[in-house]
Amino acid sequence: MSSFEAGFGRVEITPHNMNLPLLGYGTREHGTRIGNAQAVHDPLWARAMAVRQGDAAWALCALDLVGVDAQTVAQVRGQVAQRTGLKPEAILISTIHTHSGPRAQEAANWNRPFSTLVADAIVEAWEGRRPAQAACGAGVLYGHSINRRWLDRPVDPGVGVLRVDTVTGELLGVVVNFGLHAVVLGGDNLLISADYVGYARDQVEKVMGGTCLFTNGGGADVNPLTQTVRRQLAEGRPFVTMTEAHYYGEGPDPIYIEERKGGTFAEAEDLGRAVGQEVTRVALGLRTAPPDGTPWSAQAWVNRLDQGEDLIETQAMGVGNWALVSQPGEVFVETALAIKARLREFGYPYPWLVSYANDWQGYLVPEAAYREGGYEVERARTKGQSPKLQERLWAGISPLLPRHPAA
């Protein structure tokens, strides 16, 4: 039987040129332009992992952007397929969802085609494959996130960790899954940054080495609970969420959670360190071994519209006792928890939901939320999303999921 192989790659995607828009906030204003990047605080990356066992292979890539469009994904997939032989449908490209990064379609940001930069990272991972073994684990991180629609609703504290070593025990990389908006830095920040995610990866790599690749989970309705937010909650003023729900009364001068201003890099570092420490704790406790099953991937196309038809992609992949399902936009925490529970029913004890993958379709709202309304729902309605979209996405991908051999 063919041996399991894995490799990691990374290529810097920090814009070469400034004075172009940062994405993520409609409230950014600077001079006569909206949201211009003024300088680089910390670099942005495309990080990738590629695996192969015999004829089975896939690649996972994460970009330091708020989102990536389907056209760019298609361009990257085409280049990687041509250079490696990987099937385009076996390549997953997600983003960390930083609100302090550029627009992928804005070609003037870079002196090289952006799709080529991303393809280079995946090709580097593919060409750097070595005989490997893996282990997956889970931790939890409480006290650093808050449900931004309903303060008394859940967040997902789960921290998923996939550790990959060579067969001689040398660490190749760590892949992370955690559902939390990368919005420590608010709309008043005009410096390019990977937000708390960059600090988290740095923490892991400082302690363990290798390459750390971060994927965002079900965080569409989850914001960082930073010192700034804690202070706002303690001020005694009314607090208004993304659903216009009022907490602590309805007096004058309320604080709106959607007004993301005042976040600091020190707060981003504090949160990133907390995430990184939990990842490291999990990863150091794992003992890698050859996966009990070959790598697999699946792809389905689903109509997103309430009226008419426009197909969007949901993708899944896994190896051994680990599996993920991805969706092309912002996924609510309740959806992520439900999908993870369903993946466990397929026999995968370490299930992930990866958001912001392979396209940017805004908020992929669960049906129950439509009755409650709020910012995310209104944005979904503007795009014509069907209230049945989450039901359709699961119905599309679930028949293609293999059961874990041990299930």
Mean pLDDT, rounded, for 98-115 = 95
Tokens of residue 225, six digits:
């609970």
Mean pLDDT, rounded, for 207-227 = 97
Contact present, 131 and 167 (Cβ < 8 Å)? yes
What percent of the chain is predicted at pLDDT more than 90? 88
Q: Does 298 have pLDDT greater than 70?
A: yes
Mean pLDDT, rounded, for 223-251 = 92
Mean pLDDT, rounded, for 74-82 = 98
User: What are the φ/ψ torsions at residue 61 (nearest 5 degrees)?
Assistant: -130, 140
Confidence band, pLDDT 50/70/90 cuts, at residue 35: low
Confidence band, pLDDT 50/70/90 cuts, at residue 209: very high
Report CA torsion sign: 187, 188, 194, 197: negative
55 HSE (CA, 13 A, CB side): 0
Q: Does 33 have pLDDT greater than 70?
A: no
Nearest to 95 by CA among 110, 76, 113: 76
DSSP string for 59-85: EEEEESSS---HHHHHHHHHHHHHHH-
How many Å from the N-terminal Cα to the C-terminal Cα in the chain? 22
Say what the pLDDT of residue 29 is: 59
Q: Does 81 have pLDDT greater than 50?
A: yes
Say what the pLDDT of residue 115 is: 98
Query: What is the spatial distance between Cα 30 and Cα 61, in angstroms, rounded to a whole number?
Result: 32
Instruction: Give the E-state strand segments of 145-198 in sequence order.
Output: 145-147, 158-166, 171-178, 191-192
Mean pLDDT, rounded, for 114-127 = 98
Alpha helices in 184-236 (DSSP H): 195-208, 227-234
Confidence band, pLDDT 50/70/90 cuts, at residue 32: very low
Mean pLDDT of the chain: 95
**How do residues 164-207 score in pLDDT, each as one tens digit?**
999 999 999 999 999 999 999 999 999 999 999 999 999 999 99
Return the minimum-mean-pLDDT range out of 15-19, 190-194, 360-364: 15-19
Query: What is the spatial distance between Cα 221 and Cα 333, in angstroms, rounded to a whole number?
Result: 7
**How do residues 367-400 score in pLDDT, each as one tens digit?**
999 999 999 999 999 999 999 999 999 999 999 9
Mean pLDDT, rounded, for 231-235 = 89
Q: Does 85 have pLDDT greater than 80?
A: yes
Distances in Å between the Cα of 84 and the Cα atoms of 87, 91, 93, 149, 216 are 9, 11, 16, 44, 27
Mean pLDDT, rounded, for 110-130 = 98
Q: Does 359 have pLDDT greater than 60?
A: yes
Say what the pLDDT of residue 407 is: 67
Say what the pLDDT of residue 31 is: 44
Q: Which amino acid is at 52?
A: R
Q: What angle do CA 210, 199, 227 make, to 5 degrees?
A: 155
3 state DSSP class of 59: strand
Query: What is the spatial distance between Cα 218 and Cα 353, in angstroms, rounded to a whole number?
Result: 7
